[in-house]
Amino acid sequence: GAVVSQHPSRVICKSGTSVKIECRSLDFQATTMFWYRQFPKQSLMLMATSNEGSKATYEQGVEKDKFLINHASLTLSTLTVTSAHPEDSSFYICSARDRRDGWYQETQYFGPGTRLLVL
Amino acid sequence: KQEVTQIPAALSVPEGENLVLNCSFTDSAIYNLQWFRQDPGKGLTSLLLIQSSQREQTSGRLNASLDKSSGRSTLYIAASQPGDSATYLCAPSQGGSEKLVFGKGTKLTVNP
């Protein structure tokens, strides 16, 4: 149980294009999903917290107009990197909380990640 | 702002050794702390979660301890195996929220 999938696993795009990454909780409902970014040899950095049916909360320094997050259902959140540039190349990972878990009692379940390369 | 440090950055041991990975964090006002493993180019697998009120958690050959007041946690791996080779990440929850703050990890290599 508690499986989170991401699609695509890898994407290469040209500078200026937009890329959409999907994060799905396969066997549970997730009221909250998190989006992280990891640069080589760096720690995972939280980009934003996504709550179903409401606007995402972005961390300081993350451009909300560049990284569009939509959490339209209890099992799906999407991250769209708009007008991607080479500096956006990174490993993007999502995680999800099971809505049945209590506040602060939960484990976050992570997806396998999406590697983005912008040429 | 929570800052997490993991020592050592890398560790190479022969198969069968017991080992300890260290994690320190600056803000002791955490709700829980998780240990994860990350395989190259992959996502994270949760290993253990320790609530702030707990001192340790055990799962198989893994034991994690938490000393919240001193801002430290350790992950003990008994009888290490080559399959344990991965990067181990420590992530306390940021004080006052459910957000996790990650260290850079310890890259473990267990040699057959």
Residues in B closer than 8 angstroms to A109, CB to CB, are 46
Strand partners, A49: A34, A57
**What pLDDT is stored for residue B63 in this prediction?**
97
Token pair 């180019």: residue: B41
Report the alpha-carbon distance of residue B62 to residue B48 in Å, rounded: 8
Q: In this predicted model, what pLDDT tens digit does every residue of B48-98 receive, in sequence order?
A: 999 888 999 999 999 999 999 999 999 999 999 999 999 999 999 876 667
Report the alpha-carbon distance of residue A20 to residue B97 in Å, rounded: 28
Average of per-residue pLDDT across A27-43: 89
Report the alpha-carbon distance of residue B64 to residue B77 in Å, rounded: 9
Higher pLDDT, B67 or A32: B67
SS (H, E, C) A94-117: EEEECCCCCCCCCCEEECCCEEEE
Nearest CB neighbour to A46, from listed B43, B44, B99: B99
**What pLDDT is stored for residue A100 in this prediction?**
67
Average of per-residue pLDDT across B12-29: 95
Q: In this predicted model, what pLDDT tens digit does every residue of A89-107 receive, in sequence order?
A: 999 999 998 766 655 456 7
Beta carbons of B100 and A46 less than 8 Å apart = yes
Report the alpha-carbon distance of residue B105 to residue B112 in Å, rounded: 22
Average of per-residue pLDDT across B19-38: 93
Report whether B41 contacts B96 (CB < 8 A): no
**What pLDDT is stored for residue A53 in this prediction?**
80
Phi-psi region of B79 (alpha: psi -120 to 50; beta: other; left: phi over 0): left
Number of residue pairs across A and B with CB atoms under 8 Å?
A: 54
What is the percent of chain B with per-residue pLDDT over 90, rounded to a whole number? 76
Give the distance between the most distant pair of CA atoms in chain A: 43
Q: In this predicted model, what pLDDT tens digit does every residue of A41-90 receive, in sequence order?
A: 888 999 999 888 888 999 999 999 999 999 888 899 999 999 999 999 99
> Which among A63, A106, A107 has a CA at the least distance from the CA of A87?
A63
- Is residue B81 less than 8 Å (CB to CB) from chain A? no
Residue of chain B nearest A49, judged by CA positions = B99
**What pLDDT is stored for residue A108 in this prediction?**
81
C-alpha B79: how far from chain center: 17
Beta carbons of A110 and B43 less than 8 Å apart = yes
Report whether A43 contacts B105 (CB < 8 A): yes
Beta carbons of A43 and B42 less than 8 Å apart = no
Average of per-residue pLDDT across B25-53: 90
Residues in B closer than 8 angstroms to A31, CB to CB, are none
Cis bond upstream, residue B8 (ω within 30): yes
Which residue out of A26, A38, A44 would a mutagenesis test of the B interface target, given it has the greatest number of B Cβ atoms within 10 Å?
A44
The residues in B 22-51 lying below 8 A from A, measured between CB atoms, are: 31-32, 34, 36, 41-46, 49, 51
Local confidence band at B109 (pLDDT 50, 70, 90 cut-offs): very high
Nearest CB neighbour to B44, from listed A93, A103, A115: A93
Nearest CB neighbour to B44, from listed A103, A105, A110: A110
